[in-house]
Chains A and B, each alone.
Chain A
Amino acid sequence: MTTATGRTRVPMLIRSREWVHAWLLLLPALFFLFAFTHVPAVMTLWNSFHSTPRGRRPARFIGLDNYERMMGDPIFWKVLGNNLWFAFGTIPLSIGIAIVMALWVNDRLAGRGFVRMAYFTPTVLPLIAVANIWLFFYTPGFGLIDQVGSALFGWPQTNWLGDPSTALNAVIVVTVWKEAGFFMIFYLAALQAIPPSLVEAAKIEGAGRWTIFWRITFPLMMPTTLFVSINAVINSFRLVDHIFILTNGGPDNASSLLLFHIYETAFKYWETGYGATLTVAMLAILCALAIGQFFFFDRRVHYK
């Protein structure tokens, strides 16, 4: 009897020690995952139903009040509209330019390596640096754009970043310039994965460049387009670094985007409760967009 129990106890001990080891190994990663992802996410949701604590007044539960405020907040709708315009301006344009550049670079042309590097450079630069470069381009009067514009077309001096009607578009141009090179790399990889014999077969069948692109190349790059467009959508909500440098959201919120607005609300005006509500709204929008894209592309994407 004693020997029998002794025999079972040892493996039990070993097994429980293995469990301990496993948990010990997982612990650091889990700690950081919870501390910096899960807990803040839940806290955000929690905060969005509470008032902002001020001085001696602690946060108190206020139900959907923050959400009601958001629905009635003209600035929220303004930045949301800005963000949609920003997304529609940057995504198709940067994807289109990325494809054109990739096709161009993929062709056997002289100096291909140099062109490839030149296109990729904006991607390697930090967004802040890119914004600083463009700040100079946009400078009224002696910036590159005004100088070229006035020399070639006789344009009057324009304050691209200071005029509410051009500020957002000027930001869009910078973003496209920055993102297109990055997306090009993915399209280049996709192009190089297409066997040349497919294009040759299409040529033999009488297809011209245009037909080959629309009937063969573009459909075969669909997985890349899905991947890139989801990234682009997320980026259009996520990347606001350059706004700080270029316009600070102004003038009159003309170039403010949702995340920038969230930042200002939460950390400039210190309305953390309302900021949390805006964040939840943004996450909901992003989720809906990503899921929508999957369904939209699902029938169109051919996976190998």
Chain B
Amino acid sequence: MNTPATDGRPGGQEILLENVSKVWGAHKAVDDLSIRVPAGTFTVLLGPSGCGKSTTLRMIAGLESADAGRILIGGRDVTHLPAAERDLAMVFQSYALFPHLDVAENIVFGLKVRRVARDEREARLKRVADLLGLSALLDRKPSQLSGGQQQRVALGRAIIAERPVCLMDEPLSNLDAKLRHEMRVEIRALQKKLGFTMVYVTHDQVEAITMADQVVLLNGGRLEQASDPRALYQRPETPFAARFIGVPPMNVLPGALLADLDAGLAAHKVGLRPESLMLADRGPLAARVASLEYLGADMLIDCEAGGTIFTVRLPGDHDIAAGTDIRLGFAPQDLHVFDGTTGHRRDDLAAATGARIAG
């Protein structure tokens, strides 16, 4: 059933969601969602709070039933199987450690339930405890551990059974910034080493970009874009995706602002990242400086053009005062065009306009 990885451990399994929906009352939490998580990869479900990430994950786990569609894990239709029979592991946002059991008992809980022999249990416990640096804490109760240690115990419980699929719901959101960074690296390394398929939920774009092989961006229960992190930044499919990734977010402006350049843009929207705009005396975009923010390495300038406010990020220090009129330019490949009616990316229009800038 499992594809063996190189080191003899079970590899991951592919997860398929086919037109999955979940309705709460009149509210569609997940709306006709189809995703493919290739075996052994790290996929992040990303999106703003309330967009249906947790619901999606819980449907994969079997903690929530799907109202429509199918869920397949490793080619097996699990849509109607209970959680216990889906052969997966999960790390909860609250860690969900059993408070009355010590660390060792927490970690081997699943093995005991599945009646794994004692020797085997002990051997695996030792391996996992060494891997996660928990060896000295095995007989403590969860309440005697720090947040980071509790997190490790939850990880230990998830990986000890070497299940082909591991699900995590915002596992780092209760940790401080430094620990979060460490754990990010650690979880990613663990997943690479053990080779299981990971579905990881977060609302933090930095986590998504740094950890994922594939980012699945959700918005209001619908799939916005599923692609690798680079493509998500470089080629966002929708204005929502464009604005969700990148700090500060991409400026999505009325195409009419670039009408001088290409009259055909007037009916569409154009996207320009703050960092791809630059001062250019003969640039196509005229604007007035509204306010400035000096950040040391660079400056953030809020500009106003045709009644729209947008942000420009300029490297270094510039001697510009509020109220000045400036002209801005950008490289042809940095222009994104989104269709005025469908909202989808229009590379044909971007290429046409890009050609005029270059030419």
Footprint of B on A, CB under 8 Å?
195, 197-198, 200-208, 211, 215-216, 219-220, 222, 302, 304
Contacts and interface: CB of A to CB of B under 8 A. Distances in A.
B113 A200 contact: no
A203 B98 CA distance: 13
B90 interface: yes
Contact of B83 (A198, A204, A216, A220): A204
Nearest to A302: B100
A208 B84 contact: yes
Contact of A203 (B83, B114, B143, B161): B83
A211 B113 contact: yes
A204 B89 contact: yes
Interface string B138-158: 000001000000000000010
Contact of B92 (A200, A206, A211): A200
Interface residues of B, number: 23
Nearest to B87: A206
16 contacts: A195-B96, A201-B92, A201-B96, A201-B157, A203-B83, A204-B62, A204-B83, A204-B88, A206-B113, A207-B84, A207-B113, A215-B98, A215-B109, A302-B99, A304-B99, A304-B143
B109 A202 contact: yes
A206 B89 contact: no
A211 to B, nearest CB: 6
Contact of A200 (B63, B88, B143, B161): B63
Given A195-B96, A200-B63, A201-B157, 9 more contacts: A197-B92, A201-B92, A204-B63, A204-B83, A204-B90, A206-B110, A207-B84, A220-B100, A304-B143
A197 B94 contact: yes
Nearest to B141: A302
Contact of A204 (B84, B94, B99): B84
Find the residue from A200, A205, A208, A222 having the highest chain B CB count within 10 A: A205
Contact of B110 (A198, A205, A208, A222): A205
Contacts of A302: 99-100
Given A195-B96, A197-B92, A302-B99, A203 B113 contact: no
B82 interface: yes
Nearest to A197: B96
A207 B157 CA distance: 14
A195 B96 CA distance: 8
Contacts of A202: 98, 109, 113
A200 B83 contact: yes
A215 to B, nearest CB: 8
Given A202-B109, A203-B83, A207-B84, A216 B98 contact: yes
